[in-house]
Amino acid sequence: MTHHPVTLAHEARRYLHQHPGIGFAVDQAGEYIARICTSLGWTVTRGIGGTGVVATMSRGFSPRSIALRADMDGLAITEATGLDYASDNLGAMHACGHDGHMAMLMGTAATLSASPGFDGTVHMFFQPAEEPGTGAEAMIADDLFARFPVEAVYGLHNIPGIPEGEFHVRSGPIMAAEDNFEINIVGRGGHASAPHLVIDPMIIGAELVLALQSIVSRSTDPLHAVVVSCTELVTDGARNAIPSTVTIKGDVRTFTEENSRLVEQRIHEIAGGIGSAHRAGATVSYSRVFRPTVNDPDCVAEFAVAAASALGEDRVNADCQPITASEDFAAYAREVPACFGFLGTGIISAEGDGATPLHSSIYDFNDAILEAGIAVFSSLVRSALPDRTPS
């Protein structure tokens, strides 16, 4: 493999796309990253939080340090792109562009290896299990910041819907929390021809699905972004049998702890009330998978200036709208100052490489933005860790 940064990134992206792993099962990617980064002169540590990789480079005499982060895992989706570098792992693919994120960091590693221009230490966090929301916490629990102390962590995600090569960021919450809920309704099943003898959990479930929508419209501040979605309804019934049980599963997105707690409280109250009205039992389990991703203002300023230097001021939006998708980068931001940004892949309504939404079976990362990502990260390192060593 060549070590020219952009060419290396292109080659790495195709290789990583072809060999996706899910969750923590990213050993093949980890081995590949470790081999390339080692050949570039970086010190590599593997096995952080299970299968995470940290590549480290120090220059000059400054004790300052920052981290750049890329996610490693793919999704349990069967690829339908027909690409000549399509997934070799049936039932798994890089449908979210994590292959591109890893490739950008590897290209940045090559850039900084060839022409450092910084004074301090750079750690690159290659993190598994972003999709289930457990990888960042696993690395942190494995003494990530004790072993690799940093002043700040930076990351970015490719985003269809933003013009190709534009960088968007904002202070404060930029991505939402994701909570999950499950409501189990226990009635009394029976023959479909004798509904007067049963306690029908389907009726209760139908009422609940509709009633839960009132949480956003009637219980939360209309100026706050909150999403409550029922996504699954499972029963033990048959075509001619009214079920005994119904399970409703769903997803909640919020930007504040207060709204997360409010939604949980209202789901308990609504489920309990409707269940009781129908003489049925209704129990709720509620879990918090992702916390909101909250950007530190000073880190945002640093990232935005570096991006403007790399891409031009007209290609940077430093006060973008937040989105209701979630990211486990949030775990880093709860530990140290951090900033997460978006790199546009193209307008979805247009034709071209950036037109396909994330998590689609026909998604393929837009390689045209690799150079922009490398330029932004390299510029960030040099501005955050300015080289003041004597020439």
Instruction: Find the range with the poorest average confidence among 14-23, 252-261, 262-271, 351-360.
Output: 351-360
Residue 351: predicted pLDDT: 58
Residue 223: predicted pLDDT: 96
Taking phi first (over 0 means left), then psi (-120 to 50 degrees means alpha), and beta for anything else, what does residue 139 get?
alpha
Residue 378: predicted pLDDT: 98
Residue 252: predicted pLDDT: 98
- CATH number for the domain spanning 268: value is 3.30.70.360
Give the whole-angstrom CA distance, residue 37 versus residue 182.
Answer: 43
pLDDT more than 70, % of the chain: 97
Same domain, 186 and 320: no
Q: How confident is the model at residue 18 (pLDDT cuts 50, 70, 90)?
A: very high
Question: Average of pLDDT values for 246-260?
Answer: 98
| C-beta of residue 56 within 8 angstroms of C-beta of residue 148 | yes
Same domain, 285 and 304: no
Tell me: pLDDT of 354 over 90.
Answer: no
| C-beta of residue 187 within 8 angstroms of C-beta of residue 280 | yes
Could you tell me the residue range of the domain that residue 149 belongs to?
5-171+292-384
pLDDT digits (tens, 9 = 90+) for 81-115: 999 999 999 999 999 999 999 999 999 999 999 99
Same domain, 164 and 207: no
First to last CA, the chain: 32
Q: How confident is the model at residue 349 (pLDDT cuts 50, 70, 90)?
A: low
Tell me: pLDDT of 2 over 80.
Answer: no
pLDDT digits (tens, 9 = 90+) for 58-88: 999 999 999 999 999 999 999 999 999 999 9
Domain closes at, from 243, 259, 290: 290
Whether the model clears a pTM of 0.85, i.e. scores above it, the answer is yes
CA distances from 55 to 51, 90, 272, 390 (A): 13, 30, 51, 26
Same domain, 159 and 226: no
- 342 inside domain: yes
CA distances from 30 to 50, 146, 199, 306 (A): 11, 21, 54, 28
CA distances from 307 to 6, 7, 168, 379, 383 (A): 17, 21, 9, 7, 10
- 83 inside domain: yes
Tell me: pLDDT of 320 over 80.
Answer: yes
Tell me: pLDDT of 350 over 60.
Answer: no
Residue with tokens 């990260």: 377
- Residues 284/285/290/295 CA torsion (nearest 10 deg): 50
Residue 198 makes CB contacts below 8 A (sequence gap 6+) with: 187, 188, 189, 190, 242
Token duo for residue 362: 């026909």
- 391 inside domain: no
| C-beta of residue 199 within 8 angstroms of C-beta of residue 349 | no
Same domain, 202 and 285: yes
- 390 inside domain: no
Mean pLDDT of the chain: 96
Question: Average of pLDDT values for 304-324?
Answer: 98
Give the whole-angstrom CA distance, residue 303 versus residue 159.
Answer: 17
Domain closes at, from 290, 308, 336: 290
Residue with tokens 């102390």: 149
| C-beta of residue 123 within 8 angstroms of C-beta of residue 42 | no
Question: Average of pLDDT values for 185-209?
Answer: 97
Ligand-binding site membership of 19 (annotated)? no
Same domain, 76 and 147: yes
Q: How confident is the model at residue 1 (pLDDT cuts 50, 70, 90)?
A: low
Give the whole-angstrom CA distance, residue 295 versus residue 301.
Answer: 10
Residue 3: predicted pLDDT: 72
pLDDT digits (tens, 9 = 90+) for 235-245: 999 999 999 99
Ligand-binding site membership of 98 (annotated)? yes
Instruction: Find the range with the poorest average confidence among 25-29, 341-345, 352-356.
Output: 352-356
Tell me: pLDDT of 352 over 70.
Answer: no
Tell me: pLDDT of 176 over 60.
Answer: yes
Tell me: pLDDT of 27 over 70.
Answer: yes
Same domain, 181 and 167: no
- 298 inside domain: yes
Q: Is the dihedral of CA 119, 152, 298, 107 positive or negative?
A: positive
Residue 196 makes CB contacts below 8 A (sequence gap 6+) with: none
Same domain, 162 and 306: yes
Number of domains in the chain: 2
Same domain, 214 and 232: yes
pLDDT more than 90, % of the chain: 96
Question: Average of pLDDT values for 252-281?
Answer: 98
Residue 390: predicted pLDDT: 64
Tell me: pLDDT of 353 over 70.
Answer: no
Residue 388: predicted pLDDT: 82
- Residues 327/35/19/49 CA torsion (nearest 10 deg): -40
DSSP state of 283: E
Domain closes at, from 290, 306, 338: 290
Ligand-binding site membership of 131 (annotated)? yes
